[in-house]
Amino acid sequence: SPFWRGAIACSGSEFCKLAITETKSFSRWLVEELEERLPGFEQHLKLHVTGCPNSCGQHWIADIGIEGKKIKVDGRLQDAYYFCVGGAVGLNQGIARPIGYRCLANEVPDAIERLLRRYLDERRPGENLRQFFARHSDENLRESLAGEVIAAAMRDPSPGRVPHAVEG
């Protein structure tokens, strides 16, 4: 399937001391969910999952790349992912753009399904995912992922680094 063909995941917290989230079984579950939900999806898709900001899963060069985070819900930390879209290697290479959307891990399949259904419904003849993402604003893409208009989420700074706005 296009989901298995383009899926990449880093080692994740099961095998890596730097990882924030578990990625291997999560990626398998995510791909299986997308196959079940979008059985006729034919577009080539690079779906990369990385468990921390080090990006061993190379989420920056994927059509849809997600980076592991933690979100506090009811006083407990839970796995979550921050989304980037539109990356590619090769002739038309480019770095994926962060669009200011993150969600809990169990919400990721719903978010990606909404985004891909919008692509299927609104794409222009011959338009691939990367072109579709380039044609839409971050706000439009966040709305597709969330199913509603939401404010942008800030990407957490890498551990040990000070955001430019804080530097004195």
Read off the pLDDT of each residue in 79-99 and give the average, rounded to a whole number: 91
Residue 158 has pLDDT above 80, yes or no: no
Task: Flag whether 163 is in a domain.
Answer: no
Task: Answer whether residue 14 shows pLDDT above 60.
Answer: yes
pTM as predicted? 0.86
> In terms of residue numbers, what domain contains 103?
2-146
Task: Report the percent of the chain where pLDDT is more than 70.
Answer: 88
Q: In 16-137, which residue ranges form alpha helices assigned H by DSSP?
A: 24-37, 108-122, 129-135
State the sign of the Cα–Cα–Cα–Cα dihedral 13, 15, 19, 24. Answer: negative
**What pLDDT, on the 0 to 100 scale, is given for residue 163?**
42
pLDDT of 157 above 80: no
Q: Is 160 domain-assigned?
A: no
Tens digit of each residue's pLDDT (9 = 90 or more) over 109-130: 999 999 999 999 999 999 999 9
Is 28 domain-assigned? yes
How large is the angle between the packed helices 108-122 and 24-37, nearest 10 degrees? Answer: 40
Domain count, the chain: 1
Residue 76 located in a structural domain: yes
**What are the phi and psi torsion angles at 90 (to 5°)?**
100, -150
Specify the pLDDT at position 91: 82
Is 122 contained in some domain? yes
Does residue 129 lie within any of the structural domains?
A: yes
CATH number, domain with residue 142: 3.30.413.10
Q: Return the number of other C-beta atoms located less than 10 Å from residue 6's C-beta.
A: 17
Look at 77-81, 85-89, 93-97, 151-155 and tell me which has the smallest mean pLDDT.
151-155
* Pick from 10-24, 104-118, 120-134, 150-164: least confident: 150-164
Angle, CA of 59, 60 and 64, to the nearest 5°: 60
21-33, pLDDT tens digit by residue? 999 999 999 999 9
DSSP 157: P
pLDDT of residue 133: 95
Residue 162 maps to a domain: no
Is residue 75 included in any domain, yes or no? Answer: yes
